[in-house]
Homo-oligomer: A and B are copies of this chain.
Amino acid sequence: MAGEAKARRLPRAVRERQMVDAAVRCFARSGYQAASMDEIAELAGVSKPLVYLYLGSKEELFTTVIRREAGALLRAVAAGVGGDGVPPDERLWSGLLAFFTYAAEHQDSWVVLSRQARTHGEPFAGEAARMREEIVGFVAGLIGEAAGEAEVALGGRDVEALAQALVGSAESLAGWANETSGVTAKEAAETLMNFAWAGLGNLMKSERWSPR
């Protein structure tokens, strides 16, 4: 009578996790539209109505996915950046390391956050933008801090623009590292520190490059 391999009647929290895990994978592989609820339910090992019962709708499910993964990424980066009492370059370094590590160890999650969520309109793009802004905020904080220490005057928009540039290069390197065999998170972080911090270091000494 018993003995069925498939575990049934699991507690709701466990089932939900399975479903959201499956959804992350499917959305990462196929994209929001191409991923079907059938596919997700099958990968989660449950029937489709159960997905609807627990997660609402496809849109709600994707939103749930984005929120959960964004939270995980933010927590990882925040832990890497650490708190006060540490010089900003050290904190940037460990933040980048945490970021590249997350992107490498949770590739589906990273694909969903960096591509799918930003490409499929509202409300997903907004959700992803909110997360990205938090990360840009971290970086902007560090840049502002460093500028303060170096007693260099940087406008808010300048800081914002530099943070956008740094975050963009991190995103690009993360994708490249994930697609290129043999590139570790540490190497990616080192490249970016060399590229960015050294450049920022010059900025701090008011050595600016200018056209002509």
Known: A199-B198, A209-B197. A172 touches B165 (CB 8 A): yes
Known: A33-B34, A116-B119, A198-B199. A158 touches B191 (CB 8 A): yes
- Contact call A164/B190, Cβ cutoff below 8 A: no
How many angstroms from the CA of A167 to the CA of B198 in the assembled complex? Answer: 17
A120 close to B (CB within 8 Å) = yes
Using CB atoms and an 8 Å cutoff, list the residues of chain A in contact with chain B.
30-31, 33-34, 89-90, 93, 115-116, 118-121, 157-158, 160-162, 164-173, 176, 183, 187-188, 190-203, 207-212
Known: A168-B171, A172-B169, A172-B171. A210 touches B190 (CB 8 A): yes
Please name 9 pairs of A and B residues whose Cβ atoms are closer than 8 Å in the assembled complex, sorted by A. A31-B120, A33-B33, A115-B119, A164-B176, A168-B169, A169-B172, A193-B211, A197-B199, A199-B202
Residues of chain B with a CB closer than 8 A to A167's CB:
172
How many angstroms from the CA of A121 to the CA of B30 in the assembled complex? Answer: 7
- Contact call A121/B191, Cβ cutoff below 8 A: no
How many angstroms from the CA of A33 to the CA of B33 in the assembled complex? Answer: 7
